[in-house]
Amino acid sequence: MDASSSSVLEARDLQQRIAGPSGVLDILRGISLSVQAGETVAILGASGSGKSTLLGLLAGLDAPSAGEVRLLGQTISELDEDGRAALRAGRVGFVFQSFQLLPALTAFENVLLPLELNPEHEGRSQVEISAWARDALKRVGLSEREAHYPHQLSGGEQQRVAIARAIVDRPAVLFADEPTGNLDGQTGGRIIDLLFSLARDPDHEDRRTALILVTHDADLAQQCDRILHIQDGMLA
């Protein structure tokens, strides 16, 4: 089987430049990579090395200055903003360093969000997708907290809600940006186990999630199938 045929994410010669006060700055310089379904990949690098920029480009949150990203078989640069959103809906999950929960929504409503945005679920009843959301909250141990608003939850609980939101629809690709950055060691460990279980879930061989972790934590990176080191905008 050709490597690219089962890859869920492929980047070719990615470049990102921005105009700064002291001239043009190269953030990323010719990055190419490929990620298979169910594969876990760590992108490791120091602060300012371009990790988060790379994550943004790979997830289709931004367009590169040059090069190409293929996400789930679609070339990102060929899609407009709405097309990229539709591509992500329900199939790409995120865990952000700063949780990024919507403060106006309860824990349950935050988790429900990706399900409601996924056009594949349009025919399903609210009861059905609500059950999925509750199940995801249960898996992160927050069943009792579903009616709470983010500001009523601790940092660890907020991150677990964010994880539940990321895994609720079993995305094909899950991007995690320093997922344990704000957590204590014990909580962080549980979160990591949960994320890895998605990629290695024996019950869902056909739909295993590719996990792409951006981190500067070498121990965490060691748990991944593959580690990509990024330095000065290039893969080392």
Interface residue list for other proteins (CB under 8 A): 52, 55-56, 59, 61-62, 81-82, 84-92, 94, 96-98, 100, 102-105, 109, 112-114, 116-118, 126, 149, 151, 165, 177
Nearer to other proteins, 28 or 112 (CB): 112
At its nearest, how many Å lie between other proteins and the CB of residue 76?
Answer: 12
Nearer to other proteins, 19 or 151 (CB): 151
**Tell me, what DSSP letter sits at residue 94?**
E
Nearer to other proteins, 6 or 98 (CB): 98
Nearer to other proteins, 122 or 203 (CB): 122
At its nearest, how many Å lie between other proteins and the CB of residue 149?
Answer: 8
Structure tokens at 208: 């295993």
3-state DSSP helix/strand/coil % of the chain, to nearest 5: 40, 25, 35
Nearer to other proteins, 2 or 82 (CB): 82
Distance (Å, whole) CA 3 – CA 32: 14
At its nearest, how many Å lie between other proteins and the CB of residue 167?
Answer: 13
**Nearest one of 89, 71, 87 to 11, comparing CA atoms:** 71
What is the C-alpha radius of gyration for the chain, rounded to an integer number of angstroms? 18
Nearer to other proteins, 119 or 202 (CB): 119
At its nearest, how many Å lie between other proteins and the CB of residue 1?
Answer: 29
Whole-Å CA distances, 48 to 13, 39, 43: 20, 26, 13
Distance (Å, whole) CA 18 – CA 25: 5
Contact (Cβ atoms closer than 8 angstroms) between residue 228 and residue 42:
yes
Distance (Å, whole) CA 111 – CA 192: 18
At its nearest, how many Å lie between other proteins and the CB of residue 3?
Answer: 27
At its nearest, how many Å lie between other proteins and the CB of residue 103?
Answer: 6
Structure tokens at 179: 């997922």
> Within a 10 A sphere around the Cβ of 84, how many other Cβ atoms?
22
Looking up tokens 């990323």 gives 28
